[in-house]
Amino acid sequence: MGSASSTLYESLASIFQVLLIMVLGPLLLGFMAKVKARAEGRVGAPVTQILRDMRKLLTKERLHARHASAVLALAPMVIVAATAVAVAISPLVTTRPLLGRSADILVIVYLLLTGSVASALAGLDAGTAFGGIGSSRAMTIGALSEPALLVAVIALSIQSGTSNLPAIINATMSHPDWVAGPSRLLALVALVIVVIAETGRLPVDNPSTHLELTMIHEAMVLEYAGPDLALVTLGAAMRLGLLFALLSNLFFSWGIARHLSFLDVFVGGAVLVAKTLLIALGIALVEIRSAKLRLFRLPELLAGGFVLSVLAVITGLVTR
Amino acid sequence: MTYLLWGLVCCFLAAVAASLPSAYRVRATATLGAIGCALALSASLDTLIRGSVDTVHTARLLPTFGLTLSLDPLGALFVLAAAFVGFASCIYCVGYARDEMKSRSALTLLMIFIFALLAVPVAASIVSFMFFWELMAVCSMLLILTDQRHSRDARSASLWYGVLTQLGAASILFGFLLLTTHGGGQTFADLTHQASMLSPTVRSFAFVLTLLGFASKAGAVPLHVWLPKAHPEAPSPVSALMSSTMVALGVYGIVRVGFDLLGGGTVWWWVAVASFGAVSALYGALHATTATDLKRLLAYSTIDILGLVLVGVGAAGALVDSGHLGVGELALSAAFLLVLAHAGFKGALFFAAGSIERSTGTRDLDRLGGLVHTMPFTAVIFALGACSIMAVPTLSGFSSEWLLLQGLLHGFTDQSTPALIVMLVGVIALALTGGLTAVAFVKAFGIGFLGQARSRDAYSAPDAALSMKVAMTILIIPSFVIGILPGLVIPLVERAAQVGLSTDSRSPVLRGVGLELSHFRGTIEPALLLIGFVIVLTILLAFSRGLANRKARRVDAWGCGRDVQTSRMQYTATSFAEPLQRVFADVLRPKTDVEVTHVAESRYYEQSLLYQNRISDALEQHGYRPIIDATLFVGRAARRLQNGSVHRYLAFGFVALLMVLVVLA
């Protein structure tokens, strides 16, 4: 296979990943809502509800707040674009996406951070109290959870000797005994906490609340309506899809396509959907049983996640 | 080297030109200064590319000892940073200089300050080094007083800075003197020879003494107290120079003495340097999140970045000590790259803060807001600088932090416990400061530039003058160059790192479209990432244009049912940082007072509410205050001995004479 055609295949794989996550993210959100509704004895909205909402929002008028600047208009696109680049280069369906060489953990973390920064700035742009509340809280939580994300993945990179995500996954697949190691388990727990915080699930943030004083993400994006809101929702859903997919692939990599044949990529996509649905099911079940934590109890949870990830690094160093 | 000397001459002439009549004083001075900096810039680039070493000695310029200057790649890197920011500062001054800054004394001092900044990294003997070092310290100390001569804060800042920098200089001088105890040579070349003959204890003593002095200049906690006071009070071109290049000279000193003169020393030196760095990084980042004074916020973030640089230097030292030269070189290159990146974006940020202060008369974020509408150019520059410092991918902060992380990560291959501790501490500091820096700069941009104006001055602020815009643009360019095409700059920092570590090993970073490590698996290609990002963004833009063909309709923001939304209902910088302030209350020790006055008729209704929140540097309150109080107490006690009576002084003389006689007998 020539280099030009392999680049073509890699591009196609990346585009497939982006499209898959664009659909899978909203579906995962709908699936979690459905599971929660069923567990509470309700029928609940259909799984495709978020996608339907987005389609409806796209046909609506664009409204911008009077004092807002270009930041408010640009932020949704920056959020989606940064997340889409992160999705395109991450090893989700295949370990050989386009620019997979650059899929360094720092790149992914800081692309996600770019998205958070854009939405926090958009929250402040209209000059209202709610936007400020949301931005301030979201940034506070982000400041505590992103370090844990970074350090937890570094714990994995110590074993594989690189911080490149496809390389970490390849190394994991050739050393199945690493998966059950103490360092991996600690990092896994830390990452689960981080993923819950970063995607705004209970007990960190309540995705279904619209009670002003408890909202975090919803308060930040309160000024958005119409197509802009559709993009913001899409960005948040893709972020969730990406984090779930990374969580599943870093620890249970099997099924991911290591060669770019149609069959492998198809199987990779199907396995990814199955794995993320399982994670979504688990998180939905946890959400049913937990109440939202008080904002000022959150740092304890997130600091716990950070300490676990540091312990994972130390354990990794001691046991290698 | 010749160009550099001419550059220094130009800066000196600029200082002379500052005494011209006021009609063309600023332009003449700025032009000469800019030419001087440009010459120095070309000289340093030439040295970094060719890797040459030029030495000049003249016996005439300084009495008794003479002046020894030597331009090697290590020094050239710091000359490069100083010349670049100096060049931009000269241009910035044309539009910025008004009132006090336009005076003869201020302009002369500024030019001598730039002169000293360019000369310190090339000084190659103890006497010349200390001469330029002190020149730099004295000029910057006096410059702090320029704009706010009459404010108490500026005077106190200048005093704090003066005392700490003089103590630091004394400590450095003692350290150097210890190195000369074997043989009398005082040039750096002599010291390298003599140092190898000294006992390890003396070498360690000398290193620790110089480290204390240099770390204080680099703003390392707990010797940082002067920095968040001095940088905000100085006029903005001076703040930019101090923050982006002068503090970096502290790092230069540590590298020059630790690696070059003392040849690496023992591992605990570097554990100390890295711990200094990690503590500073965290402390600086944390204080930056709660600061409401824009320039104070920038000053604290300088402490943070310089902390990360020190982590890189410490990691390099620890790795070289255990024989991992390649990774050590990687870590040192990363630290140097961060120095260069920081010089660019922090200079631009200080310039932006300066133009805000010029236009609105305040740097208090709680009184700003909405500046994106009134000062769009400054807003864009500040946003770009903030994105760089937050390490948004494809900007300079990201490339350099990535390289630093790679240095630390591959440093884990080292098996020695001290080295592992350094790496672990470094990774933790890097991870934690990332999130905190994002909070600080989202706050600075979001509160200062977005939303509605919180005061009349911010509502009608004019944008910066043309020369200030040009200067800001120049300083933001490195953010893109280092960020998108780091391969262009890496050879320069690698050369400096190789000279610092005196190795000529194979370069640890391959270049290409992006950065690729040669011994390890690790690549980033920022240019390609940027292309991908732009493609997606274009698709989205086209999509949203096609979809909602009409322009967005302007409506009132959602006010929760209220009709009137005033600018006082917005979040302020204080309220934005309140959650983090509460989380880290143990470290920050905020003082909060809430005073409620009730209506006379009923306890249930409040008449007025007063909320005060102050965060002072806890280390200053609990570490420095007691020392100052004790010194003042001793001083007051000593004053009682002197009551002005001649009889008493005669008695003192007599008693002293008797004691001398008794001792001699």
pLDDT in tens, A1-51: 457 788 888 899 999 999 999 999 999 999 999 999 999 899 989 999 999
CB contact under 8 A, A102 and B452: no
**B564/A contact by beta carbon, under 8 A:** no
> How many domains would you assign to chain B?
2
Residues B622, B536: one domain? no
Q: Which two tokens stand for residue A150?
A: 């970074």
Instruction: Report the 10 Å Cβ neighbour count for B156.
Output: 13
Residue B473 CA to residue B348 CA, distance in Å, equals: 8
Distance CA B120, CA B116 (A): 6
Q: Are residues B539 and B626 in the same domain?
A: no
Say if B260 is an interface residue toward chain A (CB within 8 Å): no
Closest Cα in chain A, distance from residue B283 (Å)? 15
Q: Give the domain extent around A77.
A: 3-319
Burial of B618 by CB count in 10 Å (0-12 exposed, 13-18 middle, 19+ buried)? middle
Whole-number pLDDT of residue B550: 64
Identity of the residue in A120, A133, A144 whose CB atom sits nearest the CB atom of B442: A120
Instruction: State the nearest Cα–Cα gap between B227 and chain A, in angstroms.
Output: 25
- Residue B27: partners with Cβ closer than 8 Å, 6 or more residues away: B94
Residue B536 lies in a domain: yes
Beta carbons of A145 and B580 less than 8 Å apart: no
Chain B within 8 Å of A19 (Cβ-Cβ)? Answer: no
CB-neighbour burial class of residue B46 (10 A; exposed 0-12, middle 13-18, buried 19+): middle
Percent of chain B clearing pLDDT 70 (strictly above): 98
pLDDT above 90: residue A59 = no
Q: Mean of the per-residue pLDDT values for chain B? A: 90
In angstroms, rounded to a whole number, what is the distance separating the alpha carbons of residues A69 and B196? 63
In this structure, the dihedral spanned by the alpha carbons of residues B300, B301, B306 and B308, taken in order and rounded to 10 degrees, is: 120
Strand, helix or coil for residue A43: coil
What pLDDT, on a 0 to 100 scale, did the predictor assign at position A130? 86
From CA A302, how far away is CA A204, in angstroms rounded?
A: 9
Judged against a pLDDT cut of 80, whether residue B506 lies above it is answered with no
The overall average pLDDT reported for chain A is 90
A108 touches chain B (CB under 8 A): no
Q: Quote the pLDDT of residue B179.
A: 87
Q: Among B178, B148, B184, B124, which Cα is nearest to B1's? A: B124
Tell me the chain A residues in contact with residue B550 when contact means C-beta distances shorter than 8 Å.
Answer: 61-62
Option in A65, A98, A147 nearest B435 (CB)? A147
Residue B535 has pLDDT above 50, yes or no: yes
Cα–Cα distance measured from residue B123 to residue B133, given in angstroms and rounded to the nearest whole number: 9
Inter-chain residue contact B529 with A85, CB threshold 8 Å? yes
Kindly report the backbone phi and psi dihedral angles of residue B524, in degrees, each rounded to the nearest multiple of 5, phi listed first. -135, 145
**Residue A1's pLDDT is what?**
43
Residues B427 and B482 in one domain: yes
Contacts of residue A129, Cβ cutoff 8 Å, sequence gap at least 6: B560, B569, B570, B571
Please check whether residue A305 touches B, CB under 8 A: no
Q: B612: which strand partners?
A: B593
Contact assignment for B372 to A64 by CB distance below 8 Å: no
Q: Measured between CB atoms, does A128 come within 8 Å of chain B?
A: yes
φ/ψ of residue B521, rounded to 5: -90, 110
B450 and A114 within 8 Å at the Cβ level: the answer is no
Examine the domain organization and report whether B576 and B640 are in the same domain.
no
Smallest Cα–Cα separation from B305: which of B267, B257, B250, B351?
A: B250
The residue-averaged pLDDT of A162-191 equals 89
Nearest to B453 by CA among B374, B376, B382, B368: B368
Higher per-residue pLDDT: B138 or A320: B138
d(CA B54, CA B504): 19
Do residues B289 and B343 share a domain? yes
Mean pLDDT of A119-144: 91
Of B438, B443, B577, the CB nearest to A113: B438
Alpha carbons B180 and A110: distance in angstroms, whole number: 48
Domain that holds residue B635: 618-664
Q: What is the mean pLDDT of residues B269-281?
A: 95
Residues 235-254 of A with CB under 8 A from B: none
With contacts defined as CB-CB under 8 Å, which chain B residues touch A88? Answer: 532
Count CB atoms within 10 A of the CB of residue B431: 23
Q: Six-digit token pair at A192? A: 């689960």
Q: Which residue has the tokens 């200049």?
A: B217
Same domain, B624 and B496: no
Q: Is there a single domain that holds both residue B581 and residue B640?
A: no
Query: Residue A216 has what DSSP assignment?
Result: S
Of B369, B412, B552, which has the smallest distance from its Cβ to A63's Cβ? Answer: B552
State whether residue A267 sits within 8 Å of chain B by CB.
Answer: no
Mean pLDDT of B544-566: 75
In angstroms, what separates the C-alpha of A37 from chain B's closest C-alpha? 29
H-type alpha helices, B256-293 = 267-290
On chain B, the residues whose CB falls within 8 A of the CB of A117 are 387, 390, 392, 438, 442
Report pLDDT digits (tens) over B190-227. Answer: 888 888 888 889 999 999 999 999 999 999 988 999 99
E strands within A34-74? 63-65
What pLDDT, on a 0 to 100 scale, did the predictor assign at position A278?
A: 95
Domain total for chain A? Answer: 1
- What phi-psi label fits residue B516: left (phi over 0), alpha (psi between -120 and 50 degrees) or beta? beta
Q: Which is higher by pLDDT, B82 or B621?
A: B82
To the nearest whole angstrom, how far is the Cα of B440 from the nearest Cα of chain A? 9
What is the DSSP track for B104-122? HHHHHHHHHHHHHHHHGGG
Using 50, 70 and 90 to split pLDDT, how confident is the model at B295? Answer: very high
% of chain A with per-residue pLDDT over 70:
99
Whether B655 maps to a domain, the answer reads yes
Classify residue B310: in a domain, yes or no.
Answer: yes
Question: Facing residues of B609 across strands?
Answer: B596
Q: Give mean pLDDT, residues B587-614.
A: 84
User: Residue B147's pLDDT band (boundaries 50, 70, 90)?
Assistant: confident
Q: Where are the alpha helices (DSSP H) in B151-255?
A: 152-179, 188-195, 200-217, 227-233, 236-241, 247-255
Burial B166-203 (b: 16+ CB within 10 A, else e): eebbebbbebbebbbebeebbbbebbbebbeebeeeeb
